[in-house]
């Protein structure tokens, strides 16, 4: 009997592990609840954050047009889960304008919780290098094009790095989502090099390569992408045509996340050069048939 | 008679000679409204100015689009009043009237245009877009007291009129369709501008250099022009190749001088070669 129970328990655990998805995609009209559910499907925030840890979060919050910024409900849900997992410190690696939070009806309820977070104020566009806040990274192992990066120093000091992009159109790269969102960690000088240092100004291949190279610097521990209402033209700032897949998508594989989200908003992943460059860097998997994707 | 005629011409020439240098000497910073544009208003900080590639230090994403149209320089400032709030102004000088008009027409989205002898204006509750000569002016008034907005907006419109007394030169392509389409047209000068309307991926199958987008109820008509019919024909053949067996367009039918395709969102796309133009119609809802 005991042996039987051990076998059953062992099988259950094995099945549970086997079912942990690579991508959790939750559809609905309540982005806050969808964010909680998406992370729950990945095993809960405790899979990513341990008590006492310091968590860095990067949010695409700088734009004002609807469909061009990460829904603040995604962010509020995330920081709630991170605090509940016992994090000692949450730092936004790019500052968030106080007005951003007011776009959420949840702001009054979570105002005190938001006030417990801090941010890297100096990393506000157009961020300028200072030794207090940024660090120079002359080269990145495995990088093809990028060099002399100027990155937010705390990226290397946090225990956990969570990326909260929005999957939307970008005039130069077609899609901006998980991988491209990391440009928010650079000074403006570094980002401008992505545009100007290639064989031609705004060379799409060069920019895509730089973005993929940038993703080699530090692996993102968790990605939660807003795919609820997003612009598919006029990006990155909008205004543009908005599509509404009504999804929040979570995972740890930036290539897979970008591939999946591109499809959700009607883009061809093959058109997104960043995906291929990221795949070549072994940052993740672009063949979604090889992954476990749970959709609700 | 001859004497009068000569005087009239002389006056016109004098005006022209006066105006042209005046316009040529104008930069974005010289046209930008400043402190005192209305009593009680001050600049929050010294105006910033950028030219050339330095535009990337002003615009967070999307500088490429201005470069594509032809960007000369920009100046920006926030103006504030102790009781009325603040307004943020960006003044772009493009390298032609057409370029400034193009940016203006794209940035306005689907909003109606106030067509004036002076600046063309698009306004909303808390913003303005203006076009005058080679200048495009963007005004963000989200932090203005509502009671102050009308006065501030009207003053800024008057400011641009006074500073840039140019006669707006519309692109010839736009003039062709103007009568029917004044409020709904967007003028394109490259593939990035087209991607604001419809994205064909990172390629540039239509080799866009000039085009016009006309908004209709159920679709958008896009007129792309080329140097001559031979050029247009060569590009159209390339477009046929692009659409054939392209996973983005699961349905495709056509050859020669026209085709129809349906994209993954279910939108119908039709194209026709017509002289030196390629005419596109893209359904709005799939």
How far is the C-alpha of B110 from the C-alpha of B78, rounded, in Å? 27
Structural domains in chain A, CATH included, are 44-286 (3.40.50)
**How large is the ipTM?**
0.81
The structure tokens listed for A289 are 């048939």
- Let me know: does A159 contact A219? Beta carbons within 8 Å: no
User: Which range among A1-15, A98-112, B74-88, B200-214 shows the weakest confidence by mean pLDDT?
Assistant: A1-15
User: Which range among A214-218, A265-269, B114-118 shows the weakest confidence by mean pLDDT?
Assistant: B114-118
Min Cα–Cα distance to chain A from B99, Å: 17
Sign of the C-alpha dihedral, residues A202, A203, A206, A208?
Answer: positive
Q: How many CB pairs under 8 A join A and B?
A: 75
Do you find a cis peptide bond into A126, omega within 30 degrees of 0?
yes
Q: Concatenated DSSP letters for A13-53?
A: HHHHHHH--SEEEEESS-HHHHHHHHHHHTT-GGGT--TT-
The structure tokens listed for A207 are 């920019």
- Average pLDDT of the segment spanning A206-229: 98
How far is the C-alpha of B31 from the C-alpha of B137, rounded, in Å? 10
- Average pLDDT of the segment spanning A114-137: 96
User: Which range among A257-261, A285-289, B42-46, B276-280 shows the weakest confidence by mean pLDDT?
Assistant: B42-46
Task: Identify the burial level of B81 via C-beta atoms within 10 angstroms of its C-beta, where 0-12 means exposed, 13-18 middle and 19 or more buried.
Answer: middle
Question: Which residue of B202, B213, B220, B285 is the best one to mutate when testing the A interface, meaning the one whose CB has the most A CBs within 10 A?
Answer: B202
Of A125, A171, A196, the CB nearest to B65: A171
pLDDT value for B127:
86
pLDDT value for A241:
85
The structure tokens listed for A132 are 């207090």
Low-confidence residues in chain B, pLDDT < 70: 1-24, 179-183, 286
- Let me know: does A227 contact A249? Beta carbons within 8 Å: yes
The structure tokens listed for A5 are 């129970």
CB spacing of A169 vs B263 below 8 angstroms: no
- Average pLDDT of the segment spanning A252-280: 96
Location of structure tokens 């039709």? B270
Q: Identify the helix (H) or strand (E) that includes residue B256.
A: none
Of A125, A173, A232, the CB nearest to B60: A125
Q: Identify the helix (H) or strand (E) that includes residue A114.
A: helix A107-115
Q: Which residues of B touch A (CB under 8 A)?
A: 53, 56-58, 60-65, 67, 109, 142, 192, 195-199, 201-203, 247-248, 263-265
pLDDT value for B179:
63
pLDDT value for A4:
53
pLDDT value for B19:
44
Of A232, A236, A239, the CB nearest to B199: A232
Min Cα–Cα distance to chain B from A27, Å: 18
Helices (H) and strands (E) in chain B, counts: 8, 14
Query: Taking 70 as the threshold, does the pLDDT of residue A3 lie above it?
Result: no
Location of structure tokens 């190279």? A213
- Chain B residues near residue A192 by CB distance under 8 angstroms: 53, 56-57
pLDDT tens figures, B106-130: 888 777 777 777 788 988 888 899 9
- Chain A residues near residue B247 by CB distance under 8 angstroms: 268, 270
Q: What angle do CA B180, B185, B189 make, to 5 degrees?
A: 135
CB spacing of B61 vs A201 below 8 angstroms: no
Task: Identify the burial level of A92 via C-beta atoms within 10 angstroms of its C-beta, where 0-12 means exposed, 13-18 middle and 19 or more buried.
Answer: buried
The residues with which A186 forms a beta bridge, in sequence order, are A151
Q: How confident is the model at residue A72 (pLDDT cuts 50, 70, 90)?
A: very high
How far is the C-alpha of B183 from the C-alpha of B175, rounded, in Å? 13
- Chain B residues near residue A195 by CB distance under 8 angstroms: 56, 63-64
Question: Which residue of B195, B208, B242 is the best one to mutate when testing the A interface, meaning the one whose CB has the most A CBs within 10 A?
Answer: B195
Helix axes A204-214, A273-280, angle to 10 degrees: 50
Chain A, nearest residue to B248 by Cα: A268
Q: Identify the helix (H) or strand (E) that includes residue B186.
A: strand B185-188
- Going by C-alpha positions, the residue among B103, B140, B104 that lies closest to residue B119 is B104
User: Exposure string (b/e) for B266-283, b if CB count within 10 Å is 16 or more?
Assistant: ebbbbbebeeebbebbbb
- Average pLDDT of the segment spanning A58-81: 96
Helix axes A188-196, A204-214, angle to 10 degrees: 140
Q: Concatenated DSSP letters for A129-156?
A: --TTTEEEE---TT-SS--SEEEEGGGG
């Amino acid at each position: 009997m005991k042996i039987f129970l051990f076998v059953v328990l062992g099988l259950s655990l094995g099945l549970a592990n086997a079912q942990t998805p690579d991508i959790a995609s939750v559809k609905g009209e309540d982005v806050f609840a969808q964010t909680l559910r998406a992370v729950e499907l990945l095993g809960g925030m405790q899979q990513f954050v341990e008590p006492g840890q310091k968590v860095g979060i990067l949010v695409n919050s700088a734009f004002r047009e609807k469909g061009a910024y990460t829904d603040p409900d995604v962010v509020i849900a995330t920081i709630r889960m991170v605090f509940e997992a016992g994090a000692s410190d949450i730092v936004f690696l790019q500052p968030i304008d106080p007005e951003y939070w007011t776009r959420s009806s949840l702001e009054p309820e979570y105002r005190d919780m938001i006030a417990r977070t801090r941010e890297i104020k100096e990393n506000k566009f157009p961020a300028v290098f200072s030794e207090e806040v940024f660090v120079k990274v002359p080269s990145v192992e495995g990088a093809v094009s990028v060099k002399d990066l100027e990155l937010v120093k705390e990226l290397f000091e946090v225990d956990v790095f969570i990326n909260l992009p929005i999957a939307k159109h970008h005039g130069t790269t077609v899609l901006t989502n998980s991988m491209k969102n990391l440009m928010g960690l650079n000074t403006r000088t570094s980002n401008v090099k992505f545009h100007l240092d290639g064989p031609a100004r705004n060379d799409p291949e060069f920019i895509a390569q730089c973005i993929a190279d940038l993703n080699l610097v530090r692996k993102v521990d968790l990605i939660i992408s807003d795919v609820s209402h997003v612009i598919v033209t006029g990006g990155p700032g909008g205004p543009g045509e908005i599509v509404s897949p009504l999804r929040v998508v979570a995972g740890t594989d930036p290539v897979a996340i970008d591939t999946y989200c591109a499809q959700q908003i009607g883009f061809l992943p093959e058109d997104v050069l960043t995906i291929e460059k990221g795949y070549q860097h072994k940052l993740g998997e672009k063949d979604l048939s090889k992954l476990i994707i749970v959709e609700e | 008679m001859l004497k009068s005629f000569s005087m009239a011409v002389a006056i016109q020439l004098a005006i022209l000679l006066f105006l042209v240098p005046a316009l040529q000497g104008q930069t974005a910073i010289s046209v930008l409204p400043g402190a005192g544009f209305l009593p009680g208003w001050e600049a929050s900080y010294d105006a910033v100015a950028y030219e050339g590639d330095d535009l990337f230090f002003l615009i967070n994403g999307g500088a490429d689009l201005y470069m594509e149209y032809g960007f000369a320089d920009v100046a920006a400032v926030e103006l504030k009043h102790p009781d009325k709030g603040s307004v943020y102004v960006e003044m772009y000088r493009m390298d032609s009237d057409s370029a400034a008009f193009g940016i203006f027409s794209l940035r306005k989205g689907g909003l109606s245009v106030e067509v004036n002898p002076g600046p063309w204006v698009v306004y909303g509750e808390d913003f303005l877009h203006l076009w005058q000569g080679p200048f495009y002016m963007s005004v963000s008034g989200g932090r203005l007291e509502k009671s102050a907005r009308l006065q501030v907006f009207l003053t800024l419109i008057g400011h641009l009129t006074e500073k840039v007394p140019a006669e707006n030169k519309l692109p010839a392509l736009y003039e062709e369709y103007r009568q029917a389409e004044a409020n709904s047209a967007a003028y394109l000068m490259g593939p990035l501008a087209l991607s604001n309307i419809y994205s064909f991926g990172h390629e540039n199958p239509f080799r866009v250099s000039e085009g016009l987008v006309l908004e209709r109820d159920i679709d958008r008509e896009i007129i792309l022009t080329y140097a001559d019919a031979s050029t247009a024909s060569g590009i159209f053949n390339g477009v046929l190749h692009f659409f054939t067996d392209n996973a983005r367009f699961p349905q495709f039918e056509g050859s020669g001088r026209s085709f129809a395709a349906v994209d993954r969102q279910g939108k119908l796309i039709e194209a026709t070669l017509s002289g030196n133009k390629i005419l596109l119609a893209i359904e709005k809802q799939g």
